[in-house]
Amino acid sequence: MPELPEVESVRLRLAPLLEGRRFDTVSILDARLTRPFDPREVAAELEGERVRALERRGKYLIVRFESGRSLLIHLRMTGSLRHGDGGTLPDDPYRRAVVRLDDGSDVAYRDVRRFGTWLLLEPGELDPYLDARIGEEPLVESYRARNLEARLAGRRAPVKAAILDQRTVAGVGNIYADEALWRARVHPLTPAAELSPDEVRALHRGIRRALQRGVARQGSTLRDYVLPDGESGSMQDEFKVYGRAGEPCARCGTPIDKIRAAGRGTWYCPSCQRFHANGR
């Protein structure tokens, strides 16, 4: 599933192609994309809107229109966006929507599992919508360890579950959670509230470093994730733990172990990331 680095990579590629352009025609081919709203009505509302900016919050792509409205796109499990000259994109049985821009190019939305969503918001609706669902952006300058500490305080849940919660920190999913915890030398099952101040600082740094590496590598392509021009990301080539059970830890050589945490496959180094609870 696309996480912050994948969505940011899509945004960086698409922004120059979308900004300033008008949505000329919009076809929404799957009613699940816009439910509970009628896809024909949403498509009709989108036609004629001109893009002011393409932004991102957490795992959401935000198409901000000059009208003050915004289209909030969440790729969920398998959503992706492709851009190409009008009519040149290959046929695709999983295409769920197509936008023809006023320069004649197409932006097509593909989604195999169909969990992705397009939500058209009226002026003033965006910030309350996002504020109710996601926490701070981890890659902005102002994001500090104390922001993370405040969100972890008092939580008995395993730290892995806590950082997968989008209200703790925006944009971290299963891959970058494991990578961040390895960087921080924190065991994924440590109760969130029992991290020492040093561990919280290390996790804050680990989250930022893992996500920054992901953005630099333009995300990780494991299955469905693809950039708008059809290229792949390469972050999968530098995963430290994710998907690497039995391979040696890059820091100490101990074989990486796989467990379940927060209901998800979780990879970690049993030597570098020691379990502790109730202080130490």
**Does the protein bind Zn ion through residue 271 (CB under 5 A)?**
yes
Q: Is 53 exposed, middle or buried (0-12, 13-18, 19+ CB in 10 A)?
A: middle
- 176 contact partners, CB below 8 Å, separation of at least 6: 3, 4, 5, 207, 210, 211, 214
By rule CB under 5 A, what string of x and - marks binding of each residue 203-242 to Zn ion? ----------------------------------------
Judge whether 118 and 100 are in contact, CB under 8 Å: no
Asked if 249 is part of the footprint of Zn ion (rule: CB under 5 A), the reply reads yes
| Residue 252 touching Zn ion (CB under 5 A) | yes
Please pick, from the candidates 251, 265, 275, 277, the single residue that binds Zn ion as defined by CB under 5 A: 251
How many chain residues touch Zn ion (CB under 5 A)?
A: 7
> Which residue(s) pair with 117 in the sheet?
74
Residues noted as catalytic: 2-3, 59, 264
Residue nearest to Zn ion (CB): 249
Residue 274 in the binding site for Zn ion (CB under 5 A): no
Distance CA 13, CA 58 (A): 17
* Distance, CA of 77 to CA of 151 (rounded, Å): 26
Is 248 a binding residue for Zn ion by CB under 5 A? The answer is: no
Q: How far is the CB of 143 from Zn ion (least distance, A)?
A: 27
Options 33-41, 138-146, 203-211, 270-278: segment touching Zn ion (CB under 5 A): 270-278
Residue 120 or 249: the one with the smaller Cβ distance to Zn ion is 249
Residue type, 179: E
Give how far Cα 202 sits from Cα of 9, 68, 205, Å: 25, 39, 5
Interacting residues toward Zn ion by CB under 5 A: 249, 251-252, 254, 269, 271-272
